[in-house]
Chain A
Amino acid sequence: MLNFREQLKRYDYSFFGICSVIFFIGILNLYSATHSQGVGPEEGLYKSQLVWFFLSWTCGIMVSFIQPKNFFRLAYPAYLASITFLIVVLIVGHSALGGQRWIGFGSIRFQPSEVTKIAIVLVLARWFSKAAPDQETGFRGMIIPFILSFIPALMIIIQPDLGTGMLVLLIFLFITFYRKLKIKTIIILGMFGIVGALVVYNFGLRDYQKKRITTFMDPEYDSKGSGYNAIQSKIAIGSGQFVGKGFRRSSQGALNYLPENHTDFIFSIFNEEHGFVGSLFLIALYLSLFYRLLWLASNVNKMFDSIVVIGVLAIFFGHTVVNMSMVSGLMPIVGVPLPLMSYGGSNLVTFGICCGIVTSISNARTLF
């Protein structure tokens, strides 16, 4: 058994390190977004975000001392627990911003869809890791993992939280792809996907979700003003130009042109204040995190560990790409936060735990 000092020596600080740097930028940006041009109504937010940060990092660091084999054991219980939470939230959840997403424990509010992301990663990793060595994944191999991911995804979508539901499906695709999904299957699935999307769009989406998509496709179609956010976000980003307007100089956020400028639209404010240079720097940081994860995935000994790392990558990558695309007008606005930058407790905890899991896997890698 290793003593604690040696354990610390082997400890992989890179994930928490990179994430802390991004968070540090994030908290400055949050402060700026809520304090530009005098005192706004949300001035206290950065303090609670700091509290959440310490809480998440504590959770994450605790998780990092769990042996990876225990993640394997925990996969199904965690999955069942998250399904239960999702059912509870559908029945009794508090309504926030038009959706049933929260469960309240006393004064603490908790968003089960966040935990679901981690549970899905673990359960899929466990399922796929027992496959025969060089076997590729075809339709048949996909059925059960698909059901495992589709049930919670559907429950999240009807909350309604389209963004997170889609993310869960994205995690599923990412992992399945990594686990050698046949190219032929991908093409056929893609075709089904398009047909399915058309059907879902016409019959399965709520009006405001549809509106978001049509607004994106054709802003002129929108007549109720939901294109407003997209336009204001674009103005915010564009007006940052090369070097930005400077710290606490955002006018779009300050004038309340951007609603939720501390959550979903935080990247717009960052761009407005720090310009193209700022986002280059920020994106470089995210990329270093993703490449570190990708490297780890290819350099572990166990298939389960490898898939978990890919799953965590999918979570981080999915959030980042979707958020950046939607605020810059590449995608409809679906309400996905930017990891470590957007204000929000539940998702910060998720990212903390994700960091803990991959750190644990990285630490175990060097143990023989």
Chain B
Amino acid sequence: MFGEDDLVRQHQERADIISNIIVISFAIILARLWYLQIYHGKMFFNYSLENRLRKDIVRAPRGMIFSRNNVLLTHNVPRFDAIITPQYFDSPEETIPYLAQILDLAPETIYKTLKRYQGQAKYLPIVIKKNISRREVAVIETEANRLSGVTVETFISREYTDKDTGAHLLGYISEISQEKIPRFRDRDKYDYRQGDFIGQSGIEQQYDLDIRGEDGYQFMEVDARGRARRHVSSDELYSGIDNKRPQPGKNVRLTIDRDVQLAAKKAMEGKDGAAVAIDVDSGEVIAMLSTPAFDPANFSTGISSNYWGELIMDEKHPLRDRSIQEHYSPGSTFKTLTAIAALETGIITEKTQFVCGGTYRMGSRTFHCWKKEGHGVVDVYRSLRESCDVFYYNIGNRLDIDVLHKYATMFGMGKRLGIVLPRETSGLIPNREWKKEHTGQEWQKGETISCVIGQSFVNVTPLQLASFYATLANEGKLYRPHVVKELFSSTGQVVKRFSPELIKQFKLSKKTSDIIRQSLFDVVNTQGGTAIALKGVGLQMAGKTGTAQVVSFSADKIFNKCENQEYKFRHHALFAGFAPAANPKIAVAVVVEHGCHGGSAAGPVAKAMVAAYMNKYYSKYQAKIISQDKMSYDQILEDNRLNPVPMELENTDTTYFDETGKLIKNYLLGKTGVVQEMEGD
């Protein structure tokens, strides 16, 4: 028998063969190294020294963003930087003064810049002057012989047609931070590189992967000084190397209408807040604005740290999109919902009347109506028209908070609507469960009384508010608001189309619906309504004003004039509504922070948006509305039934005229995907 060590010994033969395999393998490798390093060493050494291949990234142009009528909102403009690559920069004493002369800089400035980057790798380029003119570019290129090591680098920067208008929605792009590269690579399965620009908010962020396109590359043969000699295509050594053309990013067509947006912007001048307009029949967002805003173009050209610091430190948070990332107490605009809940559950009927004496007592607490002397006898129509608080305190005493929660949720409040944009907030509609969970305390009856008038815990985003009124206007169809109509390629083919998405549908009783619609019509169109000032020829708006307390005042201060308060204690002003009342097409919501009065601060913004929209899309229909201007709501309904006018979009053209008949300067997307600038005559 063999012992185990004999067995091992028996394998000696194989071990010897393995030994030979090892020897032969390394002999081959050494032979190869000898061939490369000794036999061809000189050749490869020269290659490495003289004949260098450089792989230049060719950046893909970012997709452009257009309004719903193909008005160009965001596009790319080339920008040129003068750079020095220290590795190839061999005669600074002569070059720097000459370069300084070309770029109109002091030579010391260039020395200083170079000194600052002394520590980094010599092959990394140093930017000497950003955004140089085309003339400077031309001089540098023609004088290349006297400027070894100096080159011009082309960047693509982003330009936003309307500067800060809609900046939050469009978003901005900026250079990806180095720490984030690995995480983003994992997340997006995209090979981000240092120096890449990525979308950081709004559409630019949300659709970044579609908009960014795919970078290409191009091999350049460079000489020992780093100057490009020629594009590499085929060569004995470089055979098999090819360039890759960049794939331009997809273009985005928004649902936003630029004119409505601009109208809102103009009306919001000097006010802080948000304005949203939604297409009632599809959930398409027609305008979405938040102020104060910022100029997104400043980010893509390499933002100065000053500007960034100012934005961050600004108490008003200009970077925050107030239309979806901020929530507000809806104030009286929420009474519409309370009325619906009360009518639907039978707590009140059309005939129910309460007496408003200016105050409402519950236990030891006194709740005030905004009108100190009271409204007298009030029914549901009047309660909405004149925004009587005491009427709603009475409802609040009878209405369960969970019922209110159910109706508010039904209309899309208290939850994210799921608009495809970053960082939407949910707002808050309280119920018993929520209170228990977050404060550990039971729900108090008095809290319902604050909630029914849209104060206390109730918070909604301006988008939710607009969506609520849109759902009211279309009789129970809650659409998911969306801002993008379609993505299309640089050659004009539509790659993805976003159609309206119904979140849910429900039915309100006809009676309730009629009462609410008539009341909201009266708010704007009859004497005594809180927004009668908004009555406009050819608008036929229906809506509700709101004033939301920012802080609660002691009883003696409640009736102080709002304008006399310190700015940050003034009430927020709100307006929400839809138009035209009899045949709603657009729903709007406006919040003006510390604007004091819904009717006078927020209302005009809503009116401006509705006017811009109606003038542009339904100008023929407006004639009919104007003729109905003296009628009551019932007469309007009757008139519409007898002489229906088809509500068709009249203006789908890409060109249009303003009120004075002047062709507005317009960018058109040609069939080839090339943007042409059109000039009015």
Interchain CA distance A221-B54 in the complex, whole Å: 21
Let me know if B42 and A219 touch, CB within 8 A.
Answer: no
With an 8 A cutoff between CB atoms, is A254 at the interface?
yes
With an 8 A cutoff between CB atoms, is B194 at the interface?
yes
CB contacts between A and B, total, < 8 Å:
184
Let me know if B37 and A231 touch, CB within 8 A.
Answer: no
Can you list, as one digit per residue, whether each of B121-157 has a CB less than 8 Å from chain A (1) or not (0)? 1111000000000000000000000000000000000
Complex interface: stretch among B58-66, B237-245, B507-515: B237-245
With an 8 A cutoff between CB atoms, is A18 at the interface?
no
Let me know if A241 and B121 touch, CB within 8 A.
Answer: no
Interchain CA distance A236-B237 in the complex, whole Å: 14
Q: Which residues of A contact B43 (CB under 8 A)?
A: 238
Shortest C-beta distance, B118 to chain A (Å), equals 9
Q: Which residues of A contact B5 (CB under 8 A)?
A: 300-302
- B-facing residues in A258-275 (Cβ within 8 Å): 271-272, 275
Interchain CA distance A291-B49 in the complex, whole Å: 39
With an 8 A cutoff between CB atoms, is A56 at the interface?
no
Number of interface residues of A (CB under 8 A): 70
Let me know if B26 and A303 touch, CB within 8 A.
Answer: no
Q: Which residues of B contact A234 (CB under 8 A)?
A: 36, 44
Number of interface residues of B (CB under 8 A): 62
Let me know if B240 and A241 touch, CB within 8 A.
Answer: no
Let me know if B18 and A224 touch, CB within 8 A.
Answer: no
Q: State which of B14, B42, B217, B244 has its C-beta within 8 Å of the C-beta of A241.
A: B42
* CB nearest to A310 among chain B residues: B18
Interchain CA distance A291-B2 in the complex, whole Å: 26
Q: Which of B28, B41, B244 has the most CB of A within 10 A?
A: B41
Let me know if A321 and B25 touch, CB within 8 A.
Answer: yes
Q: State which of A224, A302, A321 has its C-beta within 8 Å of the C-beta of B8.
A: A302
Shortest C-beta distance, B7 to chain A (Å), equals 5
Can you list, as one digit per residue, whether each of B1-43 has a CB less than 8 Å from chain A (1) or not (0)? 1101111111110110111001001101110111011101111
With an 8 A cutoff between CB atoms, is B219 at the interface?
yes
Given A275-B37, A306-B11, decide whether A219 and B18 contact each other with a Cβ distance below 8 A.
Answer: no
Interchain CA distance A279-B34 in the complex, whole Å: 10
With an 8 A cutoff between CB atoms, is B561 at the interface?
no
Let me know if B36 and A38 touch, CB within 8 A.
Answer: no
Let me know if B2 and A239 touch, CB within 8 A.
Answer: no
Let me know if B14 and A180 touch, CB within 8 A.
Answer: yes
Q: Which residues of A contact B239 (CB under 8 A)?
A: 219-220, 227
Interchain CA distance A256-B87 in the complex, whole Å: 14
With an 8 A cutoff between CB atoms, is B657 at the interface?
no
Q: Which residues of B contact A256 (CB under 8 A)?
A: 123
Q: Which residues of B contact A185 (CB under 8 A)?
A: none
Q: Which residues of A contact B211 (CB under 8 A)?
A: none
With an 8 A cutoff between CB atoms, is B53 at the interface?
yes
* CB nearest to A295 among chain B residues: B15
Q: Which residues of A contact B242 (CB under 8 A)?
A: 223-225
Q: State which of A225, A237, A294 has its C-beta within 8 Å of the C-beta of B33.
A: A237
Q: Which residues of A contact B2 (CB under 8 A)?
A: 133-134
- A-facing residues in B291-327 (Cβ within 8 Å): none
Can you list, as one digit per residue, whether each of B224-246 has a CB less than 8 Å from chain A (1) or not (0)? 00000000000001111111100
With an 8 A cutoff between CB atoms, is B270 at the interface?
no
Let me know if B241 and A225 touch, CB within 8 A.
Answer: yes
Q: State which of B45, B52, B189 has its C-beta within 8 Å of the C-beta of A238.
A: B45
- A-facing residues in B186-205 (Cβ within 8 Å): 186, 189, 194
Shortest C-beta distance, A170 to chain B (Å), equals 11
Let me know if B121 and A39 touch, CB within 8 A.
Answer: yes
- B-facing residues in A199-252 (Cβ within 8 Å): 215, 219-225, 227-228, 231-232, 234-242, 251-252
With an 8 A cutoff between CB atoms, is A62 at the interface?
no
Can you list, as one digit per residue, whether each of B467-503 has a CB less than 8 Å from chain A (1) or not (0)? 0000000000000000000000000000000000000
Q: A180-B14, A239-B41 are in contact. List 18 more A-B contacts (CB 8 A).
A: A38-B124, A39-B120, A133-B6, A133-B10, A134-B10, A222-B241, A223-B242, A225-B219, A225-B243, A234-B44, A235-B44, A239-B47, A239-B48, A255-B52, A276-B34, A297-B11, A325-B29, A330-B28
Could you jot down 5 A-B contacts, CB within 8 Å?
A37-B87, A41-B178, A225-B243, A298-B11, A313-B18
Q: Which 4 A-B pairs have the closest CB atoms?
A: A238-B44, A38-B121, A241-B41, A239-B48
Residues of B within 8 A of A (CB): 1-2, 4-12, 14-15, 17-19, 22, 25-26, 28-30, 32-34, 36-38, 40-45, 47-49, 52-55, 87, 119-124, 178, 186, 189, 194, 217, 219, 237-244
